[in-house]
Structures are given as structure tokens and as C-alpha cells.
Amino acid sequence: MEKWLEKFDRLTDGAVEGLKKVPSQLRNNKRLISKLILFTLILGLGLMSVIWVLTAFVKAIEYLYGIWVENTELIIILFVCLCMLLGSITSQISKHREEKERRKREELARQQKNASTQYAYLRLFLYKILDERLCTLVEVVKPVAPNLLNAVTPITIDDRHAIIYYNFQLHKTKTLPFSQGTDYVSNLISSHVIAKTQIEGIEGITAPVGDSLITPVHVDSVKDLGSTAIIVLVLDCEAYRELKEQQGHSLQSRELVEHI
């Protein structure tokens, strides 16, 4: 009996000592307990949010199903009408694109058919523009005859965009790059082109236009090749204007001048 009492005393003493240590252990693990409490709160809020979303979703399904049951015929009619409307709009857009592509192909075919003749007319037109003063300003040698403007590749065709480029070669006065850049040369030649087409037009291509907003031919670019330079001309067309707009070079509203 005494042995059992001794064991009980030791057990109760151990329990008392353990209870004395609890406050100090709680103080030592206060941060951990705070984190556990915060995590529990967040987990609870998360579960409540999920339950709320699921409940709202179920109620929305029930509401929509109720509308469907009560207005089945009306909803079907509206859906069919919407499909017909979208189909009609899509068809009109497709027809418009096809018509635009057809016009581009026809214009390209027409220009290809007359490309050699148009090249000769544009070459003569450019030769008349390149007087002594302009050649000095753009640092090129004045050609003594129109055929000296012929480039190695006279005509370049862009089938993708339905555009024909006419290339003309000039000899520079020096092999160094243009002192004021190719953009300056291009803009200067372009201003002379516009002025001459307003007053005289382009022989064999168009009569005098008399309007600064109508440009029958554009100076697309000037390429500096060292001892020579290439002037690239393009006859005005819808395809070219669209391409320049896509490239961020907005052109003023112009119309294609009918060829003579």
C-alpha cells in the first residue's frame, strides 16, 4: 500500500511540475501560436469564400434554368436570329475583302501588262526633273540621256501587296553617303515630282492634275549604294496607299489618276 502511495505522490508531483512549466513554454512559443491562429483564420475565410462562390454559382444556374424553362421558345428564336445576323455580317465582310483583293489583282495585272511602257514614260519624266540645280542639291551626276537611268533591275513586283516598283539608277558625285541622308534626297525629288505633275502631268500616263492632293506617282525611297543611288517610283494605287498606312506612313487622301 505504501508503495502505491509513493507512486501516486511521484505522479502528482510530476503533474504539478509540468503545469508550472506550461506558462513559460507558451511564452517561448508565442510567435508560433500566433502564426497558427492566423493560418487557421485565413483557412476558415478561404473555405467560407469557396462555399459562398459555389452557392452563388448554383443559385445562378438555378435562375438561368428557370428562365430557360419559362422562355425556351423565345430564347431559341433569339439565338437563331443572332446567328443569322452574325452570318450576314461575316458574309458581307468576306465579300468586301474579296472585292478589294479582286480590284488589287486587276490593277496589278493592268500595270504588269503596261509595265515596260510605263517604265519608259517614268524614265523620261524623271530625266526632265533632274536638272542641273536639282542634281547639285542631291549630289548626283546629271544623266545625259534618259536610258542612262536604267537600273540593273528596272521593275520589281510585290505580288503579296499587288504593287509594282520602278527602279532608276543615278551616279553620285562621290562615293560617301549623302551628306543630308536619303530621306532628304527622297523628299526633295518628291517635291519636284508633285510640282511637275500638277503643271505638266506625266507624258503617256496622266494629264496635268492641278491638285496638290492628287499624286499620280510617289517616290517610294532612295537607296544609297555607294557610287550609285536607286530612285524607286510607284504609280499611285489603292494597294500602295494601304501598305503605307499599315507601315505608319499616313498618306493624304488621293485618287488614282486614269491613264491616258
Q: Which amino acid is at 32?
A: L
Cα–Cα distance, 190 to 196 (Å, whole number): 10
Our CA angle for 165, 216, 207, nearest 5°, is: 130
Model pTM score:
0.62
Q: What is the pLDDT of residues 126-151, one digit of tens each?
A: 999 999 999 999 999 999 999 999 99
Dist. CA 61–CA 64, nearest whole Å: 5
Q: pLDDT tens-digit profile of 61-91?
A: 878 777 777 777 777 888 888 888 888 888 8
Among 197-201, 239-243, 256-260, which stretch is predicted with the lowest mean pLDDT? 256-260
Which residues on neighbouring strands pair with residue 234, listed in sequence order?
218
What are the residues whose beta carbons fall under 8 Å from the beta carbon of 112, sequence distance 6 or more? 157, 164
Q: Are 189 and 222 in contact (CB under 8 A)?
A: yes
Which amino acid is present at 183?
D
Q: pLDDT confidence of 104, banded at 50, 70, 90?
A: confident
**CA dist., res. 120 & res. 146, Å (int):** 9
pLDDT of residue 42: 87
Report the sign of the C-alpha dihedral through residues 196, 200, 204, 207, in that order: positive
Alpha carbon distance 135, 179 (integer Å)? 14
Q: Is 166 helix (H, G, I), strand (E, B) or coil?
A: strand
